[in-house]
Chains A and B, each alone.
Chain A
């Protein structure tokens, strides 16, 4: 079945360093979504990418969707302690009412 894989599983950075998480799907995706979950919280939608090769920016966050629409990345420039949390990528599941197939997430720890 469709699988969404994310690496790394954990990342520990010093505040001010950059961070990147990578997402790979076993199948071509119609779109990919990114969510952030703070410790003890729930997933919160960050962004959706739809077009092949699409790049979107949100302040210090840059999201990319691969040309083949099977991979994506999230890059954070100059991390801050507020960036702490787990970042998930997710693609639509086949024949499941547009439910999402989540990667296992990348947990980011930022130390001052």
Chain B
């Protein structure tokens, strides 16, 4: 099992450009999450999904959109990138069967917006 994978690993964008980050998991997990990590800020929840076809907003959703058309994939989109979106983005997944299941994180995407 590859676990949770993310593409791309690195990306540099100019202000106003758009891009999509892809997260894929092969563990048949129901729940998937997008977090962003900024220096000294810990990880903050952007959006999450509790199953195929469902998405919901997290703590910092502005400027991002998501889709979960297939159970194994969770896409994060930036329609018009801003320098404030320079961050490391982590995807995570969990089974969702109980409240105590752990989360498995992908390796992250390091995004710089100029």
Contact A45 B45 (CB under 8 A): no
Measured between beta carbons, the chain B residues less than 8 angstroms from A43 are 43, 90, 105
Smallest CB-CB separation from B49: which chain A residue?
A97
Measured between beta carbons, the chain A residues less than 8 angstroms from B96 are 97-98
Contact with B along A79-96 (1 / 0, CB 8 A): 000000000101011001
- Bound: A31/B101 CA distance, A: 10
Q: Which 3 A-B pairs have the closest CB atoms?
A: A104-B42, A102-B42, A42-B105
Q: A31 to nearest B CB, angstroms?
A: 5
A9-B40, A31-B100, A97-B56 known; A42-B108 Cβ under 8 A: yes
- Bound: A102/B35 CA distance, A: 10
- 16 A-B residue pairings within 8 Å (CB atoms): A30-B99, A31-B99, A31-B100, A42-B105, A42-B107, A42-B108, A43-B105, A45-B103, A93-B45, A96-B48, A97-B48, A97-B50, A98-B99, A98-B101, A100-B43, A101-B45
**Which A35-54 residues have C-beta < 8 A from chain B?**
41-45, 48, 50
We find that the number of chain A residues with CB closer than 8 angstroms to chain B is 25
Measured between beta carbons, the chain A residues less than 8 angstroms from B104 are 45
Smallest CB-CB separation from B32: which chain A residue?
A97
